[in-house]
A and B are shown apart, each in its own frame.
Chain A
Amino acid sequence: KNQVEQSPQSLIILEGKNCTLQCNYTVSPFSNLRWYKQDTGRGPVSLTIMTFSENTKSNGRYTATLDADTKQSSLHITASQLSDSASYICVVSKAGNNRKLIWGLGTSLAVNP
């Protein structure tokens, strides 16, 4: 069954600290993996997209890693800011004509001053 599981479900950190969010998937055949940031009541915004051959991709203070062998990905946030408080969603795209997206439930991150 095609699934995307994220952990932890929620996380609270202090401003300035680093954190790492996890994503495990069982989607096959694999096309790419995306991380989205969603602020409360807003639409998701793409942070990174990684294909099978990419194992690291950065977007400012956000760094995503992908291990296609173990089907795991992580999103590392460096020097967190209050504006990083949001839900972070991992999405895996199936290869094929339909390019079906399998969405995780997200990790809710709260950055406190």
Chain B
Amino acid sequence: KAGVTQTPRYLIKTRGQQVTLSCSPISGHRSVSWYQQTPGQGLQFLFEYFSETQRNKGNFPGRFSGRQFSNSRSEMNVSTLELGDSALYLCASSDPGQLSYEQYFGPGTRLTVT
């Protein structure tokens, strides 16, 4: 099976702009989670989607939003970018039917806001 893919891998944006990141989960996985990772902060949970519905949400402002399509692919959008949004954004897919609920991560999108 192909792994989790994320596009683009690198992105440079200017403050005030918006950005959309994409994630394609492992075939058959219907749950997609998004994380923000910055140096010294560890992975911060953004939200989780399952069957096109947001199931969990972290403590991020409303500028961060997401959605999931019928084929389980997911997009994350950040509006009105701030310098502090510069981070590695990771997507993880999982099969909720698994008892361990293991998450499989993509390579991430490195976002730089200038």
Contacts and interface: CB of A to CB of B under 8 A. Distances in A.
Contacts of A34: 102
A43 B55 contact: no
Interface string B96-109: 00001111111110
A110 to B, nearest CB: 16
Contacts, number: 41
Contacts of B26: none
Residue of A103, A104, A105 contacting most chain B CB atoms (<10 Å): A103
Contacts of A104: 42
A53 B106 CA distance: 30
B102 A49 contact: yes
Contact of A89 (B43, B45, B108, B110): B43
A41 B9 CA distance: 10
A101 B105 CA distance: 14
A92 to B, nearest CB: 12
Interface in B80-114: 88, 90, 92, 100-108, 110
B4 to A, nearest CB: 7
Interface string A76-113: 00000000000001000100001111011110000000
Contact of B42 (A49, A99, A100, A103): A103
A43 B106 CA distance: 6
Given A42-B108, A100-B56, A105 B92 contact: no
A100 B107 CA distance: 22
A32 B100 CA distance: 8
A12 interface: no
A43 B90 contact: yes
Interface of B: 4, 40-43, 45, 55-56, 88, 90, 92, 100-108, 110
Given A41-B108, A44-B105, 20 more contacts: A32-B100, A34-B102, A41-B88, A41-B110, A42-B107, A43-B92, A43-B105, A45-B105, A46-B103, A46-B104, A89-B42, A93-B101, A98-B55, A98-B56, A99-B101, A101-B45, A101-B103, A103-B43, A103-B45, A105-B42
